[in-house]
Amino acid sequence: MGALDGIKVLELARVPPAELPGMMLADMGADVLKIETPDADRPRGVDAERRSAFAFVNRNKRSLTLNLKAPESQAIFQRLATGADVLVEGFRPGVMKRLGADYETLRALNPRIVYCSLSGFGQDGPYRDFPAHDLNYISLAGVLGLIGERDRRPVIPLNLIADYAGASLHGALGIVLALFARQRTGRGQHVDVSYLDTTVSLLAATPNMRFFFSDGVAPRRGEGFLGGSYPYYAIYETRDGKLLTIGCTEPWLWENFCKAIGRPDLARFARRPDQFVRAANAEEEAARREIEAIIKTRDRDEWYERLVKADVCVGKVYDVEEAVHDPQVNHRQMIVEAEHPKFGKVRQFGIAIKLSETPGVVRHAAPLPGEHTDTVLEELGLGAPEIARLRARGVIE
C-alpha cells in the first residue's frame, strides 16, 4: 500500500520541473494521468520510444493525448477533473482559463480539487506574464550573484535551484499540505507556486543571509565562510588530478583534518564568527595554499580513506559514472530498475523519501505519449466507435 493510494492526479505540464511533483506523488501510489497534446513534430521511431521510456519525471504515470483547444476535448477533460483529487499545471497564468480548465471553472465542478499551478512569477504581480527560466529566476532572487569566485562572473549552476529545489519540491509539498487541509475542511484549494518565490525562500535559509535584515550586512560573491575562500570549506586538487571537497565548518572537525594531514598548527584557522560575510584574508589564503600543496602529495581515493577514518567532512568530486556506482548511493537504492514492456529493464534513479510503513515504489517506466488514451476514455464510458471518431477528428492521437 502506498501513502497516496486512491489519490487521482491530472497533470498538464510540458517541462520537467512541472512534471516532477506528479512523479513524486505517483511514486507514493497516486494514479497520475499525464495529459499530453497531440504533436505532429514529436520525434518518432524506436530511438524516441527508448528515450521516452527512460524519462525519470514520467515514471509511474499514465498518458492520455488530448487536444485541449477543441471543445470536445475540454468536455472530456472536465469529466476527468470532476473525479480528480489533484491537478498540476505548469503553464503561464491565463493559459488554463483559455482552455476551459482554470481553477474557478474546475472548482465549480469539483469543490474538493487541489489545483497546483507552477509558474515563473506566480498568478499575480507585475512580472506575472513574463517568460523566464531557471537562470533568470536565480539571478532575480539574488542567488546567482553569490555563486562563484570573487572578481569573476557568477558561475551558472545546474537548474537544480529554481526549477527543482524551488518549484518542484515546493509544489509537491504544497499539494500534500492542501490534501491534508482537505481532510479537515472537505474543500480543495489553489496552490500557487512561483519559481522566483521559492528561490528567494531558499536563499533566505542560507547562513550568508543570517544577518542581512538584522544587521544590514549583505553577502557578496566569493565571501562568507561558505564562499570557497577559506581553507576549511574548499575544493582541493589531488596528485592524480582529481578533486576533493573539505567541509569542516565546525572547529573540532577542522582540528581532525589538520591532524590527519600532519599540520595540527593550522587548527587556528578554524571558522570564526566574523566570517559570515567577509572573504578570507591574506593569512587565511596562505594557509589554504599550504594545504593545497599537501593535498597534492596523495591521490584522491587515498586521501578520502585516510580522512574518513579521521572523522573529517570529506567528499570525492565524482563524475556521473562514478556517482551511480558509489556504494552508499546503491545501498540506499538510489539506482533502481523499472520494467518496460518493450525495452525490458530500464535504469532509473531511486526514491529519496524513505517511508517505513508505506514506502514508495517504482512500478513501471515512463509511458509513451498517449499510451493509455483508449483505456482512460473507456473508463469514462466511451465506446470504440466514439474513440475512433475522436481520433479521426484530431481530438485525441
Could you give the CA distance from residue 230 to residue 110 in angstroms, rounded to a whole number? Answer: 56
The yes-or-no answer on residue 39 being catalytic is: no
**Cα dist. 51→158, 221, 368 in Å?**
21, 39, 10
The pLDDT value given to residue 43: 60
What is the pLDDT at residue 45?
66
Looking at residue 340, what is its pLDDT?
A: 83
Predicted pLDDT of residue 44:
64
Per CATH, the homologous superfamily of domain 233-317 is formyl-coa transferase, domain 3 (3.30.1540.10)
Q: What is the pLDDT of residue 41?
A: 59
- Domains 8-202+336-392 and 233-317 alike in fold: no
State yes or no: is 133 an active-site residue: yes
Q: Which of 133, 192, 326, 364 is catalytic?
A: 133
Instruction: Kindly calculate the radius of gyration of the chain based on its CA atoms and give it in whole angstroms.
Output: 25
Task: Determine which one of 27, 31, 134, 163 is catalytic.
Answer: 163
CATH class of 8-202+336-392: alpha beta
Q: What are the per-10-residue average pLDDT scores of the chain (397 residues)?
A: 95 95 98 87 67 85 93 94 98 95 97 98 97 97 93 93 97 98 98 98 88 86 90 97 97 98 97 87 95 98 98 97 96 92 87 96 91 93 92 87
Residue 48 to residues 298, 327, 368, Cα–Cα distance (Å): 45, 32, 9
Domain extent listing, the chain:
8-202+336-392, 233-317
